[in-house]
Chains A and B, each alone.
Chain A
């Protein structure tokens, strides 16, 4: 479905932050904020919860560890227990390095993969820019503009009061 949005662009992170606070204070639902770099304090201001990606890391890492251990044990002890320098078939200590490496590898790749999926990023995706230059020097707040008009006015007014360079309304889909 398509929505109507109010998009306000700011040249300064400070003013933008103030606007965000004001908007939330006035109970305007903020769709998202777009910035050329992660402005600190914005998460709290927008009330974004901390991501659960580290959990993915943990699981993927454990997966890698188990696979490495099982695989080495299987090849060295079960599949063909060769006599290598008279060492015991299950030379667990010798298996540690590979276990560690695979833990890190799979853990890392898993996390990144999960992030890309969650953030819906993939090669060749066509970008949707809130405002020109959000990747350069513009900070843009995007709020939902519900049907009834005065509310809409509210958002626009708050943004302008807080020093938005420009505020516009747009149709778009999320």
Chain B
């Protein structure tokens, strides 16, 4: 019976260690991060109900590394015509009149030392939702993906037609891999 006690102890220790390890690997991962915003902007209404294309507001995503948060003036393109008034819209109009920039809280923060270029992906036809989740169904925007290196690589490899599952890779003749279309080099993202 003593022996059993010992074994049990070791088992518990192992389990604890496992949990710890799992916790450790979540450090710096903010999946589900959904901070409050200065203006309660519902993507559900704009991108969802009204089907405004993402790139209408986040136009920079086509040309820049940043998708960009639209200037209040961009909002006014529509909101000057729409008479629907809410306190939130009021705040927006204030900001425009006073030329006071809205200080949004950034949701998707990449880890340090990582370069990500939106335009590259947008032009290559990667859907926004693939990383940002079903934004059109979100009231308050939240980080849908872990944004870890392993997560990025998964996609880059499938895009690069490099088998990702171990067995697939074992099956595939590794010697003549196709040269990745989506970069698999360190310097694709780190410099």
Contact = CB atoms under 8 A, between A and B. Distances in A.
Interface stretch (A9-17, A60-68, A75-83, A164-172): A75-83
A130 B174 CA distance: 65
On chain A, which size bracket covers the interface? 10 to 19
Nearest to A83: B185
B174 A78 contact: yes
B3 interface: yes
B3 A122 contact: yes
| Interface of A: prevailing SS | loop
A78 B6 contact: no
Contact of A81 (B166, B170, B174): B174
B176 to A, nearest CB: 12
A77 B174 CA distance: 8
A89 interface: yes
Interface in B132-159: none
Contacts of B6: 122-123
The bracket for how many chain B residues form the interface is: under 10
A125 interface: yes
A78 B2 contact: no
B65 interface: no
Contacts of B2: 122, 125
Nearest to A74: B166
A117 B151 CA distance: 43
Contacts of B170: 78
Contacts of B174: 77-78, 81, 89
Contacts of B26: none
A74 B2 CA distance: 40
Contact of B166 (A79, A89, A120, A123): A79
Interface string B50-90: 00000000000000000000000000000000000000000
Contacts of B169: 78-79
Contacts of B3: 120, 122
A78 B166 CA distance: 7
Contacts of A78: 166, 169-170, 174
A123 B3 CA distance: 10
A162 B169 CA distance: 74
Contacts of A125: 2
Interface string A122-166: 110100000000000000000000000000000000000000000
A9 to B, nearest CB: 28
Nearest to B169: A78
Residue of B169, B170, B177 with most partner-chain A CB within 10 A? B169
Among A78, A89, A120, chain B packs the most CB atoms within 10 A around the CB of A78
A78 B157 CA distance: 13
Closest 3 CB pairs of A and B: A78-B169, A122-B6, A78-B170
Interface of A: 74, 77-79, 81, 89, 120, 122-123, 125
14 contacts: A74-B166, A77-B174, A78-B169, A78-B170, A78-B174, A79-B166, A81-B174, A81-B177, A89-B174, A120-B3, A122-B2, A122-B3, A123-B6, A125-B2
